[in-house]
Structure 1
Amino acid sequence: MAAADPQLVAAARAETGGQHHAPYSRSAETGRLNWLRAGVLGANDGIVSTAGLVIGVAAATTSRAAIFTAGLAGLTAGAMSMAVGEYVSVSTQRDTEKALLAAERDALDAIPAAELVELAEIYEGKGLPPELALDVARALTDHNALAAHAEAELGIDPTELTNPWQAAVASLLAFSLGALLPLVAALNPSAGWRIPGTVITVVIALVLTGWVSAHLGDAPRLRAVARVVAGGVAAMAVTYVIGGLFGAAVS
């Protein structure tokens, strides 16, 4: 593979003021975006599920103690469920990634020449000329064979494996923070404002989470916001009707 032109390298360094920049990691950037998106969605789940619960109870009774107890129980159960679910899911994903990396490591030890050809064919398939693709494959293999093959063949960065505990804690916190909004709104001292105040608070919160999730995914903002708000309002309407009917029946 031809060496880089020293003049071009010098010019590029001059443009950056001679500063050294950390290499860009697509997998790390994708991981951060996924965590942010998961956090927003977790908060959205906490908002909608807790709002539906407290509005259903508020439709059946004016007791603040009953509303608070139901909302707190829903927040706790939902947050724990989210945390356990994320831990199990991410643990399974991590185990799968480790197994794939182990298999790739064994293949590199057993048939290094075939693995080199396979890596070169991947880059050739992306548009590099055969000779250049082979040179790139050799250079990457010499630098870090497992990392090169894992990224090109499996889409895995061996240094950025998913962390189940991180996922569990993030989900628990996101859900809890989202659930606190409708719970606090539903405890309004004025009984007549509990349900309207909760609905207004939830709609504003869903507009924000819908916009942020669309922004992170580079999706149409208005459509995402409308979809999230419509789902939340529908959930609150259903639980309000159920709470009113059962509250009247029980009383």
Structure 2
Amino acid sequence: MDEVRVVVAHSERATLRVGDVFLKVDADQSRIDVEVEAMALVPVPTPEVLWRQPPVLAIAAVPGTALGRLGEPSTASPAAWAAAGAAIRKLHDAPLPSRPGGAGRDTGELAAELDAECELLVNSGVLPADLVTRNRQVARAALRPWTPAFTHGDLQIVHVFVDNDEVTGIIDWSEAGRGDALYDLATLTLGHEDRLGDLVAGYGTGVDLDVIRAWWSLRSLLVVRWLAGHGFDPFAPGCEVDVLRSRM
């Protein structure tokens, strides 16, 4: 009998793997609704939905291996990164979905959250003031008008699978919806700045590298405390705090 492996687990959701089946348990069923709807719409490879019995969604594993992991060098080839860029471009060029996603937050709200979070990071001693101040300056370039695209909304590097330099599946669509295309590109390359050129080679035009760098800083500043409070380590080598340090 296949063993049960915990992929991720915290107070909001958990994902288990049993053989070639992933079981996603989510306290918020609206996230599962978004995921199922998005996978039916997008023009890129996604996992097969096997069954759904709230609060559980069962999906099939996709072939291939993840493009990489945060905190580790990616062993995927430049061609695989370019293929990922081309697939993401197809997604961003697809007809817009009806709902906003994780990459579609109002810039005014983001600016207010950034200010509040930076203050907490410094006052609580989580990060030094100069590191927060510098990245706060960099992050503001992301707070600009943008043209809505169909975005994944949580396009972490472990969510893109490749095999033989082709994208075989993109997983975890619970934050999908209308949003800023550059947020997706920044999320995928977080901690892998050396692969940004390969990704853009496949993606094509319309990429402002300064905005990508701004999203690296903004995303990292906003998640450090959350990660530390949910069993993750943003201070691990190559992870969010190192991303912030690289802007100094």
TM-score (norm 1): 0.19
Q: Which has the higher helix share?
A: 1
Q: Which has the higher strand share?
A: 2
Structure showing greater radius of gyration is 1
| Higher RCO structure, 1 or 2 (CA under 8 Å, sep 6+) | 1
TM-score (norm 2): 0.19
